[in-house]
A and B are shown apart, each in its own frame.
Chain A
């Protein structure tokens, strides 16, 4: 009996000593002591990497995570410094952010908005994350962006291509480096016109959810402006795995181009099915039948194997780019992991550096200070050439790549070849463009 008493008292005493004067209540509402949510107090700062780790986009998520780990290593002064050497802003010193060492937590979005929000909330509430980043679909990006806005932390979007992320669902605390459907259309249409002529009839198959619709709208608008005719647009269920019944009628429709507004698994299957039906060997209206995949993901395109050969599309970034920044990134990433990075990895790496740099320049982790530092920020040296983070909608403007499935790949990573680097001026649009209308950035929320 005495022994237990002794231990209990011991525990109480240590507790009292350690917690002397600690039991200070903190309330995460208006009347709090902290200036903003999760203000870092110790020698470290925590970032939250929220990526799909299960489900169909798990491989893409894994690549994003690799990029984040690499970015953290570089920011903390490890490795070869990566893009810290090429980045036009020299605020980063390789000693973490504002002298605090970067730590990170990871979570699984499962590519579901619910699960992604749960994971982000746990990072904010439990781990004290000051910034959330990552994701591989627009639904998740919009949902998490909304959460970060109300929680008062910064959201640096990962791979999200829908116009809505910086359009009708834009938020003051959210930032997107990745390009969007409008830019795909603007970059792709002139190349399509040059390669396939301006007298073409297009048939669209579109994944039946918000991203698919914005992409279809963008591509239709861009191609019709150059003289193409849109024969039909057909919505396909997201859950569809076999697209044969949607592809079979294409040949009889009089169309001579098939546009597949699909991403990921949907894209792999619809493209495979279309090639199976022999569409590419057909001659319609005295022209070779062509297939277009407006948004390419190299990781996913591998799943379609030989079927991607010669198919045009657009992408945010590709490892074969020859500018100094891209070469430096491929080198750091490739040396560490043994294979080249994907576009998702590049955007996530860039976002992490941009965030850290904004903190340094603002001299604070306060989301409002960071937002101010990022808004209207012009930079270069992260790949994609000179880039602007536009203040009005928090969208990055940079060059867009038009790519084609490579005919003679030399390795399993060598799937795409760059056809054209579309200059930034050509993909810019007014921030109140009708395709992006209806949203309201609101004001930045520091939480607390």
Chain B
């Protein structure tokens, strides 16, 4: 289907089903229960999952296939966000031109940075990309403030021209981002017994774009171009001896992945029209590297898993405070309750970094292939059990009279 083999089609269908049903899947606990803290099915976080998914998918096209480790990919995300917000300020609140401009500008940036950085390989390439990104961040934070609004981040004001859209709404506030009138923040809330599920227009736009990006990524992975990129990873010298110049291929991969990052940045600004300079800092670049490795570099689904994993901890664990801990363990005797709270306390709330750090180490030590490997192991376990079962059955059926 769609030019994919059976396995990839299945993967795409599974991913599509999960993303489209995410409002249900991510909200498994009734709203009033103590476990509702772990619900992630609210618009902001769901949007973040898929947007960072797009970012990581794009990063993986470069890193997973060619092995070139860019440590400055967040620069493209930031550039995309800034272009999108400028579009909202100058043109209209429609997200389509903003996203297109975001991809275009970040693509141009990627051509420039890629052209220079790809003259070197290995660690030298990583440091070059890092240097470009850090320069962008530092300048955006200070000297370029007229364009980027520095520390605060670029945001909309009531004085923006918005030549094709309205400057202010009838009530006198800043208009909201929309897709031809469909407001990105509009949410349909479905209440089912004690559960409540939120269906957000912006999320579904992001989800559909992510599925498209995912589909394109699969096609790239399976194409002759993808094969060429893998060849660069395995042995660049041999490739050049066969008369192929690897540079155009790596540059193409770099630009594609930069545009993915720009797309993610544009979407981020479309969901919440603010572009902060921190989006370009090395920590942000490092985050996408971590997402990809954590999920499983070079695999199709890994980066999305990694993105979801990190964003989940950042947004859910950081909000668990002592009050909530006490309410969880309230059913226990006082001494036990306090002891348990004291044990869990360092790992939640302000300690969410610690939990994340420990999990990074555990994953990389025990699952060398990232989270994808965990899935594979579980699958293998099931398969083995199944095959054992069938062999048992056959063994049982054999000793017939």
> How far does the Cβ of B48 sit from chain A's closest Cβ, in whole Å?
7
CB contacts (< 8 Å) of A62 on chain B: these are: 350
Contact between B193 and A150, CB atoms less than 8 A apart: no
* Residue A430 at the chain B interface, CB threshold 8 Å: no
Contact between A24 and B198, CB atoms less than 8 A apart: no
Contact between A28 and B152, CB atoms less than 8 A apart: no
Beyond A54-B350, A125-B44, A142-B152, whether A25 also contacts B189 by CB under 8 A is yes
Separation of A440 and B174 alpha carbons in the complex (Å): 11
Separation of A139 and B277 alpha carbons in the complex (Å): 11
Contact between A107 and B319, CB atoms less than 8 A apart: yes
Contact between B193 and A440, CB atoms less than 8 A apart: no
Separation of A29 and B176 alpha carbons in the complex (Å): 11
Choose from A24, A112, A149, A238 the contact partner of B142 (Cβ within 8 Å): A238
Q: Which residues of A (184-215) have their CB < 8 Å from a CB of B?
A: 208-211
Choose from B152, B276, B349 the contact partner of A106 (Cβ within 8 Å): B349
Contact between A108 and B193, CB atoms less than 8 A apart: no
Contact between B153 and A113, CB atoms less than 8 A apart: yes
Contact between B350 and A28, CB atoms less than 8 A apart: no
Separation of A239 and B350 alpha carbons in the complex (Å): 23
* Residue A343 at the chain B interface, CB threshold 8 Å: no
Separation of A146 and B275 alpha carbons in the complex (Å): 12
Beyond A22-B193, A28-B186, A209-B141, whether A445 also contacts B171 by CB under 8 A is yes
* Residue B191 at the chain A interface, CB threshold 8 Å: yes
* Residue A114 at the chain B interface, CB threshold 8 Å: yes
Binary per-residue interface labels of chain A (62-81) against chain B in the complex, 1 for a CB within 8 Å, 0 otherwise: 10010000000000000000
* Residue A118 at the chain B interface, CB threshold 8 Å: yes
Q: Which residues of A (211-227) have their CB < 8 Å from a CB of B?
A: 211
Contact between B190 and A18, CB atoms less than 8 A apart: no
Separation of A117 and B66 alpha carbons in the complex (Å): 35
Separation of A106 and B37 alpha carbons in the complex (Å): 12
* Residue B315 at the chain A interface, CB threshold 8 Å: yes
Choose from A24, A117, A210, A442 the contact partner of B174 (Cβ within 8 Å): A442
* Residue A126 at the chain B interface, CB threshold 8 Å: yes
CB contacts (< 8 Å) of B187 on chain A: these are: 27-28, 125
Beyond A19-B193, A22-B193, whether A208 also contacts B142 by CB under 8 A is yes
* Residue A410 at the chain B interface, CB threshold 8 Å: no
Task: Point out which of B152, B189, B323, B353 has the most chain A C-beta atoms below 10 A from its C-beta.
Answer: B152
Contact between B194 and A146, CB atoms less than 8 A apart: no
Beyond A113-B276, A146-B155, whether A16 also contacts B142 by CB under 8 A is no
Choose from B39, B157, B192 the contact partner of A19 (Cβ within 8 Å): B192
Contact between B349 and A442, CB atoms less than 8 A apart: no
Separation of A174 and B150 alpha carbons in the complex (Å): 21
Separation of A112 and B142 alpha carbons in the complex (Å): 15
Beyond A106-B349, A112-B278, A119-B315, whether A27 also contacts B186 by CB under 8 A is yes
CB contacts (< 8 Å) of A209 on chain B: these are: 141-142, 145, 150-151
CB contacts (< 8 Å) of B158 on chain A: these are: 440, 442
Beyond A29-B186, A119-B319, whether A15 also contacts B192 by CB under 8 A is yes
Contact between B193 and A15, CB atoms less than 8 A apart: yes
Task: Point out which of B39, B187, B188, B193 has the most chain A C-beta atoms below 10 A from its C-beta.
Answer: B193
Beyond A150-B176, A445-B171, whether A119 also contacts B42 by CB under 8 A is no
Q: Which residues of A (393-424) have their CB < 8 Å from a CB of B?
A: none
Beyond A114-B279, A143-B276, A440-B159, whether A150 also contacts B174 by CB under 8 A is yes
> How far does the Cβ of A3 sit from chain B's closest Cβ, in whole Å?
21
Choose from B149, B156, B272 the contact partner of A117 (Cβ within 8 Å): B272
* CB within 8 Å: A-B pair count: 162
Contact between B172 and A443, CB atoms less than 8 A apart: yes
Separation of A62 and B149 alpha carbons in the complex (Å): 28
Choose from B171, B185, B274, B314 the contact partner of A146 (Cβ within 8 Å): B274
Contact between B349 and A53, CB atoms less than 8 A apart: yes
* Residue A254 at the chain B interface, CB threshold 8 Å: no
* Residue A14 at the chain B interface, CB threshold 8 Å: yes
Contact between B142 and A125, CB atoms less than 8 A apart: no
Separation of A154 and B155 alpha carbons in the complex (Å): 19
Contact between A24 and B191, CB atoms less than 8 A apart: yes
> How far does the Cβ of B348 sit from chain A's closest Cβ, in whole Å?
10
Binary per-residue interface labels of chain B (49-60) against chain A in the complex, 1 for a CB within 8 Å, 0 otherwise: 000000000000
CB contacts (< 8 Å) of B43 on chain A: these are: 121, 125
CB contacts (< 8 Å) of A26 on chain B: these are: 188-189, 191
CB contacts (< 8 Å) of A211 on chain B: these are: 151
* Residue A234 at the chain B interface, CB threshold 8 Å: no
CB contacts (< 8 Å) of A119 on chain B: these are: 315, 318-319
Contact between B318 and A108, CB atoms less than 8 A apart: yes
Task: Point out which of B185, B318, B323 has the most chain A C-beta atoms below 10 A from its C-beta.
Answer: B318
Contact between B151 and A114, CB atoms less than 8 A apart: no
Chain B residue at smallest Cβ distance from A239: B138
> How far does the Cβ of B296 sit from chain A's closest Cβ, in whole Å?
25
CB contacts (< 8 Å) of B174 on chain A: these are: 149-150, 442
> How far does the Cβ of A70 sit from chain B's closest Cβ, in whole Å?
13
Beyond A112-B276, A122-B45, A150-B174, whether A210 also contacts B349 by CB under 8 A is no
Separation of A340 and B115 alpha carbons in the complex (Å): 57
Separation of A126 and B319 alpha carbons in the complex (Å): 11
Contact between B159 and A238, CB atoms less than 8 A apart: no
CB contacts (< 8 Å) of A121 on chain B: these are: 43-44, 272
* Residue A425 at the chain B interface, CB threshold 8 Å: no
Choose from A24, A61, A106, A147 the contact partner of B272 (Cβ within 8 Å): A147
Q: Which residues of A (22-76) have their CB < 8 Å from a CB of B?
A: 22-29, 53-54, 58, 61-62, 65
CB contacts (< 8 Å) of A61 on chain B: these are: 350
* Residue B183 at the chain A interface, CB threshold 8 Å: yes
> How far does the Cβ of B2 sit from chain A's closest Cβ, in whole Å?
34
Q: Which residues of B (9-61) have their CB < 8 Å from a CB of A?
A: 39, 42-45, 48
Separation of A138 and B29 alpha carbons in the complex (Å): 37
Separation of A377 and B130 alpha carbons in the complex (Å): 51
Contact between B152 and A53, CB atoms less than 8 A apart: no
> How far does the Cβ of A122 sit from chain B's closest Cβ, in whole Å?
5
Chain A residue at smallest Cβ distance from B171: A443
Choose from A118, A239, A442 the contact partner of B44 (Cβ within 8 Å): A118
* Residue A235 at the chain B interface, CB threshold 8 Å: yes
Q: Which residues of B (258-276) have their CB < 8 Å from a CB of A?
A: 272, 274, 276
Contact between A27 and B176, CB atoms less than 8 A apart: no
Contact between A122 and B191, CB atoms less than 8 A apart: no
* Residue A363 at the chain B interface, CB threshold 8 Å: no
CB contacts (< 8 Å) of A256 on chain B: these are: none
* Residue A164 at the chain B interface, CB threshold 8 Å: yes
CB contacts (< 8 Å) of A208 on chain B: these are: 141-143
> How far does the Cβ of A237 sit from chain B's closest Cβ, in whole Å?
7
CB contacts (< 8 Å) of A58 on chain B: these are: 350
With A121-B44, A138-B151 given, name 5 new contacts (CB 8 A). Answer: A16-B193, A25-B188, A28-B186, A53-B349, A150-B174
6 pairs from A and B in contact (CB 8 Å cutoff):
A14-B193, A15-B194, A22-B191, A23-B191, A25-B188, A139-B152
Enumerate chain B interface residues (CB-CB to A < 8 A). Answer: 39, 42-45, 48, 138, 141-143, 145, 149-153, 155-159, 168, 171-174, 176, 183, 185-194, 198, 272, 274, 276, 278-279, 314-315, 318-319, 321, 323, 349-350, 352-353
